[in-house]
């Protein structure tokens, strides 16, 4: 997976590659899809959510440019796979999941794997986690119509946000760096994510 799907497509951050090699992706799958865990595709995670394609996980993580001591907010815990990759690379990970059943399953999975630097919340991720802000990195694992203002407020000066922006059926990955209180935006690859739900997401999903 790392050689063919990541390195061959231009992922160069050695820390990201090492984390992707360490995290056992098959443990984040429902049983019927465990045998396909290392395939080059997104897979169902239950509750109408997906485990993102390995390449997309790597791209979004690489965009953050993590060095190891950052406090990172993840919006959309899902299966917990992206959460685990972030936990390998950052000092602290704060993760929010909209769906209680997914949140509980992900927490159980990540606790069993021994991750001690993850904090969990169930609720509206588009509102962020103000009590834990500021964050040096924010990663949103769902497509949003626009960047939620609370996430901009909670991003630290010099911090980076990775978020899919666009209509429901097609987005582009936005890398946004906060400088002097404003976002410096840079668009990357096209992608398709499940919709971000909440006050600053899609309301009728």
Annotated active-site residue in 52, 79, 126, 170: 52
pLDDT of 42 reads 83
pLDDT of 86 reads 98
pLDDT of 204 reads 63
- Topology of domain 2-191, CATH: Rossmann fold (3.40.50)
39 carries an active-site annotation: no
E-strand ranges in the chain read: 43-46, 49-51, 71-75, 92-97, 118-122, 135-140, 155-165, 171-179, 182-191
Per-residue pLDDT of the chain (205 residues; tens, 9 = 90+): 999 999 999 999 999 999 999 999 999 988 888 889 899 888 877 766 778 899 999 999 999 999 999 999 999 999 999 999 999 999 999 999 999 999 999 999 999 999 999 999 999 999 999 999 999 999 999 999 999 999 999 999 999 999 999 999 899 999 999 999 999 999 999 999 999 999 999 876 4
pLDDT of 48 reads 67
The pairing of strands 118-122 and 92-97 is parallel
Per-domain residue ranges of the chain: 2-191
pLDDT of 153 reads 97
């Amino acid at each position: 997976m790392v050689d063919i799907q990541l390195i061959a497509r231009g992922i160069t951050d050695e820390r990201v590659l090492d984390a992707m090699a360490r995290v056992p992706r098959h443990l984040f799958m429902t049983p019927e899809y465990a045998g396909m865990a290392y395939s080059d595709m997104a897979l169902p995670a239950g509750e109408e959510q997906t485990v993102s394609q390995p390449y997309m996980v790597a791209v979004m993580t690489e965009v953050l440019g993590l060095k190891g001591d950052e406090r990172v907010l993840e919006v959309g815990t899902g299966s917990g796979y992206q959460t685990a990759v972030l936990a390998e690379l950052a000092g602290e990970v704060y993760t929010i999941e909209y769906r209680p059943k997914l949140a509980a399953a992900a927490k159980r999975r990540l606790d069993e794997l021994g991750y001690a630097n993850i904090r969990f919340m169930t609720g509206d991720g588009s509102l962020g986690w103000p009590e834990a802000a500021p964050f040096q990195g924010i990663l949103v694992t769902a497509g949003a119509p626009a960047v939620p203002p609370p996430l901009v407020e909670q991003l630290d000066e010099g911090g980076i946000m990775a978020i899919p922006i666009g209509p429901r059926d097609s987005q582009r990955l936005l890398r946004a760096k906060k400088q002097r209180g404003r976002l410096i935006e840079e668009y990357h690859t096209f992608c398709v994510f499940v919709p971000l739900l909440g006050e600053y997401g899609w309301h009728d999903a």
